[in-house]
Amino acid sequence: MSKQRVLTPQDEDFPAWYQDILNKAELADNGPVRGTMVIRPYGFALWERMQAAVNQRIVDAGAENAYFPLFIPQSYLNRESEHVEGFSPELAVITMGGGRELAEPVIVRPTSETIINAYMSKWIQSYRDLPFLINQWANVVRWEMRPRIFLRTTEFLWQEGHTAHVSRQEAREYAAKILHEVYQDFMESVLGIPVLIGYKTASERFPGAINSMSLEAMMRDAKALQMGTSHELGQGFATMFNTTYLDAEGNQEYVWQTSWGVSSRMVGGLIMAHGDDLGMVVPPRLAPIQVVVIAVRDDGAVVEACHSLANEMVAVGLRVKVDDKTGTGFGRRCTNWELKGVPIRIEIGPRDLEQQQTTLITRMTGEKQTVSLAAAPQHLVTLLEDIQDNMLAAAISWRDSKIVDVVNLAEAREASQVGFARIAWEMLGTQGEVALAEDAVTVRCLQRADGSLPEDIDEPNLLAICAKSY
């Protein structure tokens, strides 16, 4: 009964560590078609909780949910030239249906700007219909060369918001609002993952957008992960789909649009941003299970005490699971809950019961403490809040320790191998961006020196965040 290695250590082989977690924490499996994934119940529970928190914020931002078809006429994509050029290499195209060749091939949506525009143009008539704010939760398909579960799969789950506004200014502000009030707030306050925000460079921009904003997080191997994007689409789609409205002066005008999304990739980000060599570490606000109560041994009184304590905890609003599967060894069960990253583990054994107490272990720190059964529920409520705050604080300080300010290309190249390099965009420039690409380093985003979002990409004195990424 000694402690043995469960996962490949992160230092030894980070991708292997990630794979091990997917399997051992029962998060997901590969699907039979390359690039597809099966999301298992625990992995899906994480996603569902993300959905609920993001959806609430989207609704608060004024957008309404709707649903558009999975199949899009090929001709729709062809209307916006940059859009179709950007996506055509990764499209799944259906040419057969009902046993016959189709007159016009059908695209499996890689994103829905086109089909949503087709309907916006129908529904929007007057400036009184604006802003038009809509969102859908859906699956999309982008044929991927190098898939990795959650991070880059051929089919993935996401939310895509699409809006139409009377002015460029209003559209820009709304895209920024989503970035800050929906995405950044969700990621930092629920996921406990700090993000750097900024504009994508022209080469990293969404196909068809005039500007793309992104949220970039640092994983435990110091690589970057784009956690979400919010785009300013300008009037390109509106022009091609004739999405117009009549303004107060009686003029026919094109709308200004945005689109924005976060995906099941965030599950991968959660794993890689907080995980350690024992498994996942899930922040309390997200955790499907916040507390697991483990019956140490098969003893009627012990099991009963576990359930009774669990009931009290549920009564104060906690999400609790009782593990009374005493047929499985104690150590094994502890390990399994650690792998799943449950924030707090409570052990109740005969010795605890004699003292009317319980042993409480915090997943994030491994810290053990003894708490009386009577005080446990209330104690847990505050402890979970502390853990949530501590996880974000720890992630921020760790990330900041891996960001290096540099002044030239050579330094940027070097620093990007072991963290994020921050360099004046005027210094780096598009040529520097191309040079960095040789080392698989990209400019993740452009931001102001204080980390805030610039007015636009041409604003002077911007900083480029450079890193290797997923």
Partner RNA sequence: CGGGCUGUGGCGCAGUUUGGUCAGCGCACCUGCUUUGGGAGCAGGGGGUCGCCGGUUCAAAUCCGGCCAGCCCGACCA
Q: In the complex, which residues of this chain contact RNA (CB under 7 A)? A: 1-7, 24, 34, 86, 89-90, 142, 144-147, 151-154, 156, 158, 204, 206-207, 214, 226-229, 261-265, 278, 296-298, 326-332, 334-336, 338, 345, 347-353, 359, 361, 366, 437-438, 440
DSSP 26-47: T-EEE-SSTT-EEEPHHHHHHH
Q: How far is the CB of 384 from RNA (least distance, A)?
A: 18
Task: Find the shortest distance in angstroms from Cβ 276 to RNA.
Answer: 12
325/294 Cα distance (integer angstroms):
9
Residue 319 phi, psi dihedral angles, 5° rounding = -95, 115
The nearer residue to RNA, 51 or 253, going by C-beta atoms, is 51
Closest CA to 211 of 176, 185, 263, 253: 176
Q: Nearest distance from residue 205's CB to RNA, in Å?
A: 8
Residue 82 in 3-state DSSP? helix
C-beta of 24 vs 180, nearer to RNA: 24
Give, to the nearest 10 degrees, the angle between helix 14-24 and helix 265-274.
110
In the complex, what is the shortest distance from the CB of residue 370 to RNA, in angstroms, rounded to a whole number? Answer: 9
CB nearer to RNA: give 137 or 254.
Answer: 137
Write out the two tokens for 166: 């009377």
**Residue 109 CA, distance from chain mean position:** 20
Kindly give, in sequence order, each residue whose CB lies less than 8 Å from that of residue 398, ignoring residues fewer than 6 positions away. Answer: 218
Minimal distance, residue 277 CB to RNA, in Å:
11
Q: How far is the CB of 40 from RNA (least distance, A)?
A: 13
Task: Tell me the closest approach of the beta carbon of residue 225 to RNA, in angstroms.
Answer: 8
Q: Roughly how many angstroms between the first and final C-alpha of the chain, as a whole number?
A: 38
Nearer to RNA, 21 or 124 (CB): 21
Largest Cα span, the chain? 82
Closer residue to RNA, CB minimum distance, 412 or 433: 433
- Rank residues 45 and 293 by Cβ distance to RNA and give the closer one: 293
Query: Which residue lies nearer to RNA by CB, 331 or 401?
Result: 331
Minimum CB distance to RNA smaller for 86 or for 284: 86
Distance (Å) of CA 353 to CA 120, 315, 318, 372, 438 = 64, 21, 22, 10, 62
User: Phi/psi of residue 378, each to 5°?
Assistant: -70, -35
Least separation in angstroms between residue 248's CB and RNA is 36
- Least spacing, CB of residue 279 vs RNA, in Å: 9
Q: Name the residue with tokens 């609003």.
A: 317
Q: Which is nearer to RNA, 128 or 146 (CB)?
A: 146
* DSSP 8-state assignment for residue 204: G
Closest CA to 10 of 1, 2, 20: 20
Q: What's the chain's Rg over C-alpha atoms? A: 25
Give me 460's structure tokens. 């002077």
Closest listed residue to residue 216, CA positions, set 250, 177, 183: 183
